[in-house]
Structure 1
Amino acid sequence: MRFPRWKSICVHLFLSLIFLMMGLRAGLAQDLFQGLSGLVEFNYVYSESRMKDGMGKTTKTNTSTYNPRLTLNIDTKIFPNLRLHAGGIGELIRADFETGGMDTRGTITRVRPYIDLTLETPLYTMGLGYVMREERSKTGSSPSLTLVNEEYSALLGWRADGLPSLEARWKRQTLYDSQRTSRDVGEDTLNLVSKYRHNGLEFYYNGLYSRTLDDLNDLEQKQLYHSARGVYGGSFWDDRIAVNTTYDLTHQEIKTLSEGKGFVTIPVSAFAGLSRTDDALPPTPILLDQNPALVDGNLIGSAGIDLLSDLPLIKRQMGLDLLNPVEVNQLRVWVDREISAETTRLFLWDVLVSEDNLNWTHWAGPVTASFVPFENRFEIDFPAITPPKRYVKVVTNPLLRSPILPQNLFVTEIQAFRRQSAADTEERTVRTSHLYNFDLKARILKDPMLSYDLSYFFNKVLPDGQRRYNLSNGFSASHRFSPSLSGTARIAREDGEEKEEKRTAYVYHLAMMADPLRTLRHSLVLSGREEEIGKKPNNLRSLFLYNTAQLYEGIDLNLNGGFNFSEKEKGENVKNRVINFGAQIVPHRSLILGLYFSDTESKQKRNEISTALGSNRRVDLSVNYNPLRTVTFFALLQIVTEQGKERQLLQNYSFNWSPFPDGALQFNLLYNETLRSEDRSKERNLTPSMRWKITKRSYLDLAYQTVRSENKTTRTHSRIFSSNLKIFF
């Protein structure tokens, strides 16, 4: 993918056009300075560690890293409707690594200039842009490696009142090394989006054409993607009847031309994104919540999942509802910033699959992921899921926050892919999906509230012929019997087809809520699904009681518990028992006491023989004491008992002192100690730090961290000094 002459001509013409327009307007230099902002950073980290293994061998390691960084940004209007957004980021990372008497030096140089010119009026929008990311790395006496990612873009948009809006985007992206010996990939994409709304009607179209060339592997891939959506919603007869209907049509066509070298990555469309912060693992059932931000195509905005955390460290679970299962063997998880290779290796990922987003099975892991330069994403590879499952998720433990890590690391997107050898890829693959939804709600009575609902769902995928539909008829009711007692109920019949098998289900939900006092609330919930798929039972039933109470001001309790019952085959039943108790006691405004208890147990019964599938019991005790505004004490004791494993004990103690929090010179002293029985580890961390607010636009951070850790095989003593100077202008 070589376009040196074309690239040079485009860049020179683009920059010449900008400078010509700048020269045509008097006083532009002043406007540019007014729109100029930036940041100068100087970062330095020195660390030394001494590790002693079980054989008595001691290994010493010293590392020093120097990282200056400059950020410039210009955001100004050249003309009333013409905006210039340009700038660049440049940084140098120089690291010296010494261990075992061997000294290794490495440097990384990163440059990222960008320019974006946008002409915007009420009727139309036009834009041109260019971004270049270059990273040059060299380690020791090895040859240097330079990776370059260039991106040219153009935008044309048109919007008129009462007519469909149009937006066309063109982008050319190339990724190569300076010698074009290890990477030489280019991609052209053309994207067309149109939207139209009128009196409850909404139409949406998204068309995408992309062409990818891998010159080193003689591989060419063309993709044509069409997505159309129609929506109607309205209410009638004084809002007694509400109707909503949607129809989605997607068509994807991929052509691959290759000489049999390299690999092809085929994207797999997801129906919904799922996530939850929870430690539950199989056999404990867990239902992930829908998270639309995980599949909205926005690779920058946070989806609300932070991979960094304070104690306790609760697992991050995120996944996809594929609706029409196909084989996948790679998941990509985007985050909002770049991280180092050392940080990447600290994350371990487990892959789990499910047919119902409730009962999960471990598929692969724990595995490490690779982190792709310029893209800010993890790539998690695993064996292909066969037979395909509708739901797939990854589970990882967050990292504990520390001075050498960023403040947050938010997940922005997750996507599934099928990666395979080019030699095994069909020359042409086509996939078309039809998805139709219809919902009708009619109010029969207002008090007590009684309503009827009708919904229909249809999905068909070609050419493999996957087909499913669901027709639901139901009645819902709610009523407040007294000021302190109310209830809701719903019953419905569902008829459908899934995996070429007929499905019939009766669904019910009954809830009673009691509020005898303002500080006391009870809820009893009975729900279930009596279902047959292909004349085989697939029944789910649950009964749960939820209680919350404020005994006194500063004493809050909650107690929840219940049972889940499932029946998959005749004579095969699974019962899950769940109990959760929590308490927060605030005897004084400076003291918070916390208690959390959970107990889960799963049993399977087949042919009158009962088998324990697993049990998990967890207790958390915490104390948070703030005798002064500047002083904090925290203690956590966690006990986990799991069937078939030794009891796990976690103890954490921390102390934080921040005198003079409002002054120009701020000090902080942090002590943290953690003990884990799982690997018989102990870690002590003492970190004094200082921030000097030099001016309103500059400050200096200094920190010295001492870490002593030991487990049953090694002992480590580390000392880390870090400094960070930031100057804004």
Structure 2
Amino acid sequence: MPLLLVAAAALGSRVAHADGLTAAAEPTYTLTRFRLTDATGTTTTTDSQALSQQYRLGLDKSFTEALRWRASGTLLRDQVWSETEGASADTTRQEWTLSTGLGWGGPVLGGSFTYDRDTVDAKYSVESAAGGRQRTRVPQLVSETYGASARWEPADLPVLNLRLSRTNQFDEDRVEFDTSTTTAGVTAVYSPTNEVGLTYATTYNTTDDRVDDTSTWTLGQVATATYRRRFFADRSQAYLIYGLQSSISETQATSALGTVRTQRPPLAGLSLVEAFPDVPSTDTLQANPALVDGNVQSSAGLDLGFQRTLAGDTAPRDLGVQMAEPLQQVNVVQVWVDRLLPETAWRAVEWSAWRSDDNANWVPVPLDGAVTFGPFQNRFEIPIQRTRSKYLKVVTRPLAATVTTDAALGAILVTDVQLFDDVSAASVAGRNTTVNNALSGTVTTRLLDAPALTHDLSFQWAKTGGQSAAWTVANGLGLTQRLHPTTTVSSRVARTDSSAGGRHTGQLDWGASLGVSPIRTASGGATYSGSWAQLPEGDQVRNAASVFARADLYQGLSVTANAGQSHVSGLETTTRTTFTSATTSIVPNRVLNLSGTYAFNKMHAETGDRVRDSEAQQLTGLATVTPFPALLATAGATRSTQSGTSPRLLWNYLVSYSPLRGGDLVLSAQHQETSDDVADTTTKSTSGNVRWNVRPNAYLDLNYSNIDNRSPQSRTRADSLMLHLFLTLS
């Protein structure tokens, strides 16, 4: 077993650190038998063994108050041996990561010097049943980054930050990868008053790709000024921001194969876990800022792991964005996740792409090649046909339970979505200069206190190079009045006008709502909204109304219901949608919890002489029993019908038992079953786990699982035994 002695990570100068050494070991051994029976009754058996090892070491040393060093490193080694009907194969993948840094200075002046390196090795071996072994070794992949930074924070003067870095990515033969990127940047931030903020940043970047024989340098500058103020005795508040951005770049290409990648920043992140009656072509995504915040470490709340499939949740996951510049083209979508995925797992995740102008009607965008997964970063790269649209999304489902039994892949969390445009280097060879101006602001004024009447004005103006300016202006009035301690009404009317690319659009929105809470255990209300959109291709009018009610009829008994209708006309199409739903929850005691939901949706659409009617219903019931804390049992069923399809029944149940909890020895067992009567599929999952808490920060897990999938085409059975040790020293 190799001994890992490596060093890591630069320090922030204002954080106190204690000298010390930390180490962790996490080996896992898994024994699996996978059986596949096809429609003819032929069974193929694959026996496999997997040994996964992870070792981490961290060092921390303070030489003086102004000089600190921290270091850490990780070794990941995965080995898999498998045999199928006399043919054997083995795979070994090893990854070393090293990060070290020296931090210097104090609160006013300080900085750091850093070095990071990531090395990946992999080899494969296959032996056929007839004899003869073929061995393959993947060239070693290396990514290394040298960095330096400095900062100066003088009192009452601009705060200055300087950063330098150079990144090299290559394979050992320098055949597939050989790229160097150098970046230098300076940022200055200054706030002369509480109302004014000034920022200036300049970055110089060079990229040399010696495989594709292309080189690019870019000099970018961004200046931003903000102004915020309250006036009229705090009845009004205003916020203005102006930004000036310039970029000069030059590309040299000596090969027709070279490409240049430009990132397309989104305006907003959107996502949806589809639920009845959603479908990818007509659903509406909801705001999800975490999906486009650039943080590739933190979850955006979407899970693609196989545990969701075992729980009966195979609903599509929609990952979308609203583009900041709808006229900009995109042909690559990157989806980041929180962990590295083995090839068998990421290849099993299927993707589709869609575009929309209104976040309500979506058109498929064909993929333009095979989806890949980054060798160094935890991200899918999805090539699509070059497209431009106001909204763009990719859709997938959680990993199938038949793909893997690796507990580490039970949850795969999406962290970020990024968009790019790849073009041939030859097409952009030479020098390019762009200048962008952008001005935006909001002004909100409280006109009356009773009733509460407010006016809001917002505007955006942007101009890029020699293109015509794009602008948006919105005015709105909002009114809220409490008619009675139990009754509140509110209304709003707004007008929005915008122009982009010579296309002018206008929209008038209006709406009102009524809320009533006569008693603490009951409430209800009604809403109405409408809009009149004036588009170059014609006008479109939307009207929608709905009512809702909630009541706690008795302790442990509650009912919720809502119903509504929407009508859209214009652009040679008329659509009328009616919906209703009701939910009942019954909790007679601490042991039993019952709930049921009924939903109905009906749509009528007319486009010219073509008439389309659709109807969908869904009935769901769920029961949970907890006779004592160690035992949990749930059972649920969902029956759904849609026009043109047969009724579908999905049902599942779960039994979980943990007789010993909270001590040094913890036992647990679980059984779950999901069935789909239309697809004639059934998935059964049984597992048991024993954990021995050896000491604080050290435990040993022994887990057995069985997953049985049945369908008319095949049956798959996976039996897995896993031994996992976690040990830390500090």
TM over 0.5: yes
Following the alignment from structure 1 to structure 2, what is the Cα–Cα distance between the partners of residues 439 and 307? 39
2:578 is the counterpart of 1:584: no
SS at match of 1:382: strand
Q: Do 1:284 and 1:576's aligned partners in 2 also have CA atoms closer than 8 Å?
A: no
1:486: how far off?
A: 0.7
Measure, in 2, the Cα distance between the counterparts of 1:365 and 1:546. Answer: 42
Deviates more, 1:365-374 or 1:410-419: 365-374
Q: Aligned letter for 1:418? A: D
Match of 2:716 in 1: 716
Q: Which residue of 2 aligns with 1:264?
A: 260
Aligned twin of 1:143? 137
Amino acid at match of 1:236: F
Would you say 1:574 and 2:559 are equivalent positions? no
Q: Which residue of 1 aligns with 2:217?
A: 222
Q: In 1, are the aligned partners of 2:265 and 2:324 still within 8 Å (CA)?
A: no
CA distance in 2, matches of 1:250, 1:221: 19
Question: Which residue identity does 1:655 align to in structure 2?
Answer: V
Question: What is aligned with 1:444?
Answer: 447
Aligned position for 1:692: 692
> Hey, what's the Cα distance between the residues in 2 that align with 1:283 and 1:396?
10
Counterpart code for 2:464: V
1:191-219 per-position Cα deviation (integer Å, ceiling 9, x unaligned): 33332333122233343332221112212
Partners of 1:502 and 1:77 in 2: CA distance: 62
Is residue 301 of structure 2 the alignment partner of residue 304 of structure 1?
yes
Asked whether the equivalents of residues 282 and 362 of structure 1 are also in contact (C-alpha less than 8 Å), the reply is no
C-alpha distance in structure 1 between counterparts of 2:188 and 2:396, whole Å: 39
Of 275-284 and 300-309, deviating more is: 275-284
- The whole-number CA distance in structure 2 between the counterparts of 1:369 and 1:678 is 31
What letter is aligned with 2:596? L
Match of 1:462 among 460, 465, 487: 465
CA shift for structure 1 position 655: 0.8
Q: Distance in 1 between matches of 2:547 and 2:367?
A: 36
Residue in 1 that maps onto 2:670: 670
Distance in 1, matches of 2:600 and 2:198, equals 49
Structure-2 change in CA distance of 1:579 and 1:419 (3 Å):
farther
Amino acid in the other structure paired with 2:114? G
Task: Give the aligned partner of residue 418 of structure 2.
Answer: 415
Any conservation in 2 of the 1:603–1:610 contact (CA below 8 Å)?
Answer: no
Shift, 1:281, TM fit = 4.2
The Cα offsets for residues 617-636 of structure 1, whole Å up to 9 and x where unpaired, read as 33322122111101111112
Query: 2:204 aligned with 1:209, yes or no?
Result: yes
Pick closer, same or farther for the CA change 1:391–1:46 going to 2, 3 Å.
same
1:47 and 2:44 are equivalent in the alignment: no
Supply the distance in 1 between the matched residues of 2:280 and 2:373 (Cα, whole angstroms). 31
Q: 1:263 is aligned with what amino acid?
A: T
- The unaligned stretches of length 5 or more in structure 2 are 1-5, 11-16, 126-134
Alignment-mate amino acid for residue 597 of structure 2: Y
Query: Residue 651 of structure 1 contacts residue 674 of structure 1 at CA under 8 Å; is this kept in 2?
Result: yes
Q: Which residue of 1 aligns with 2:128?
A: none
Q: CA deviation at 1:610?
A: 6.2
Q: Render the CA deviation track for 1:222-243: whole Å, top value 9, x for unaligned.
A: 3333333322222112211111
What pairs with 1:291-370 in structure 2 (closer than 5 Å)? 291-308=288-305, 309=308, 310-325=311-326, 326-364=328-366, 369-370=371-372
Q: Output the amino acid matched with 1:64.
A: Q
CA distance in 2, matches of 1:486, 1:434: 43
Residue of structure 1 equivalent to 2:13: none
Structure 2 contact 368–384 (Cα < 8 Å) conserved: no
> Are residues 1:123 and 2:126 paired?
no
Alpha-carbon contact 2:281-2:363 (below 8 Å) kept: no
CA change 1:287–1:211 in 2 (3 A) is same
Deviation (angstroms), 1:252:
4.2
1:61 aligns with 2:46: yes
Normalising to structure 1: TM-score of the pair?
A: 0.90
**Does residue 163 of structure 2 align to residue 169 of structure 1?**
yes
8 A Cα contact 1:123 1:160, kept in partner: yes
Change (3 A) 1:323 1:697: closer
Distance 1:407 1:366 in 2: 30
- What amino acid is the match of 1:698? A
In structure 2, give the amino acid aligned to 1:602: M
Q: Give 1:158 shift.
A: 1.5
Which of 53, 65, 70 aligns to 1:80? It is 65
Q: Cα gap change, 1:636/1:370 in structure 2, threshold over 3 Å: closer, same or farther?
A: farther
Structure-1 residue corresponding to 2:561: 559
2:131 corresponds to which residue? none
Pick aligned residue for 1:255 from 243, 250, 255:
250
Contact map agreement 1:185 1:214 (CA 8 A) in 2? yes
Paired with 1:128 and 1:114, the residues of 2 have a C-alpha distance of 11
Structure 1 unaligned runs (5+)? 1-13, 19-30
Q: Is 1:453 matched up with 2:456?
A: yes
Report the 3-state secondary structure (helix = DSSP H, G, I; strand = E; otherwise coil) of the residue aligned with 2:355: strand
Task: Tell me what 1:487 maps to.
Answer: 489
Q: Which amino acid aligns with 1:304?
A: G
Q: CA deviation at 1:494?
A: 2.9
Q: What residue number does 1:239 align with?
A: 234
Query: How far 1:662 sits from its partner (Å)?
Result: 1.2
Tell me, in whole angstroms, the C-alpha distance in 2 between the residues paired with 1:551 and 1:161. Answer: 63
Question: 40-49 or 503-512: which moved more?
Answer: 503-512
1:380 aligns to 2:382 (yes or no)? yes
What amino acid maps onto 2:600 in structure 1?
Answer: D
CA distance, structure 1, for counterparts of residue 266 and residue 434 of structure 2: 14
Whether 1:179 and 2:182 are equivalent positions in the alignment is no
| Deviates further, 645-654 or 515-524 | 645-654
* Contact 1:350–1:366 under 8 Å retained in 2: no
Q: Give the corresponding residue for 1:91.
A: 76
SS in 2 for 1:589: coil
Q: 1:467 to 1:613 in 2, by over 3 A?
A: farther
Deviation at 1:421, TM superposition (A): 3.7
- Cα deviation, 1:535-568, whole Å, max 9, x if unaligned, reads 7203332212232222222223322222232234
Return closer, same or farther for 1:270/1:428 CA change in 2, 3 Å cut-off.
Answer: farther
Larger mean CA deviation between 272-281 and 259-268 belongs to: 272-281
* 1:666 Cα offset (Å): 0.8
8 Å contact kept, 2:252–2:429: no
Tell me the CA shift for residue 354 of structure 1. 1.1
Moved more, 718-727 or 177-186: 177-186
CA–CA distance in structure 1, aligned partners of residues 540 and 78 of structure 2: 58
Native 8 Å contact 1:353 1:393 kept in 2: yes
Kindly state the Cα deviation for residue 461 of structure 1 after the two structures are TM-superposed.
Answer: 3.0
Answer whether contact 2:491 2:510 (CA < 8 A) is retained: yes
Please list the CA deviations of residues 290-324 of structure 1 after superposition, one character each: whole Å capped at 9, or x if unmatched: 33322222222333333333443443222111132
Find the counterpart in structure 2 of residue 3 from structure 1.
none
Structure 1 residue aligned with 2:132: none
**1:495–1:505 contact (8 Å) kept in structure 2:** yes
**More displaced, 637-646 or 214-223?**
637-646
Distance 1:83 1:494, change over 3 A: same
Partner of 2:129: none
| In the alignment, structure 1 residue 196 sits paired with structure 2 residue 190 | yes
Structure 2 Cα separation of the partners of residues 334 and 382 of structure 1: 17
